Structure 1
Amino acid sequence: MDITDIRIRKINLESKMKAIVSVTFDNALVVHDIKVIEGADKLFVAMPSRKTPEGEYKDIAHPINSEMRDALETSILEKYQSALLTETEQAEVPADPTV
């Protein structure tokens, strides 16, 4: 199964939840609401989840093995860093006074 698209849907630098991401696999399946979270020492990826009646959170979808988890997390975090660079570069471009 190949990751064919990653879309950073929302970036929020003011909270521990840094971004919300959608990932498409094989141009056939999309998983929404994957989160990029700021942990104690690094960023990590949290899969979409729901709260149970007991107050616990259970993943709705998640990788079955560590190889897929590592590939997914690496791809998402690379795309997130790229989106941050693009956002920063756009913020640094001075406004054109002639417009």
Structure 2
Amino acid sequence: MEITHIGIRLIESSRLKAIASVTFENILTIDDILVIQGKNRLCLHYPQNRDNQSVVVPRIREFSKQIEEAIFQQYHQKIIQKGA
């Protein structure tokens, strides 16, 4: 599936850096993807229900990587824009 839109809302917190939404082919949107600063790198946390069970889980590693790279690229662009 092609990513057609990514929204990023920067958050000023120690570990939580942003909240993202991703739209695929203008058909499906996943909201509330958290961009978290881990010990060595940024990582994504997908939406969970009240029992902390994942609501969305990419099953194919390449697809997960595609989402991750697209969100991180937009995140870094948003940081640059904020600093300008």
The match for 1:26 is 25
2:63 alignment partner AA: M
How high is the TM-score relative to the length of structure 1?
A: 0.80
Mapped partners of 2:17, 2:49: distance in 1: 19
Shift of 1:58: 1.2
Larger RCO: Structure 1 or Structure 2 (Cα < 8 Å, ≥ 6 residues apart)? 2
> What are structure 1's unaligned runs of at least 5 residues?
90-99
TM-score, normalised via structure 2 length: 0.94
Deviation at 1:50, TM superposition (A): 1.8
Count of residue pairs the alignment pairs up? 84
The equivalent position to 2:75 in structure 1, one of 80, 83, 89, is: 80
Calculate percent identity across the aligned residue pairs: 32
Unaligned runs of 5+ in 2: none
Runs of 4+ in 1 over 6 A off after TM superposition: none
Larger Rg, first or second structure (1 or 2): 1
Q: CA RMSD in A?
A: 0.9
Q: What is the CA distance between 1:80 and its match in structure 2?
A: 0.2
Deviation at 1:12, TM superposition (A): 1.5
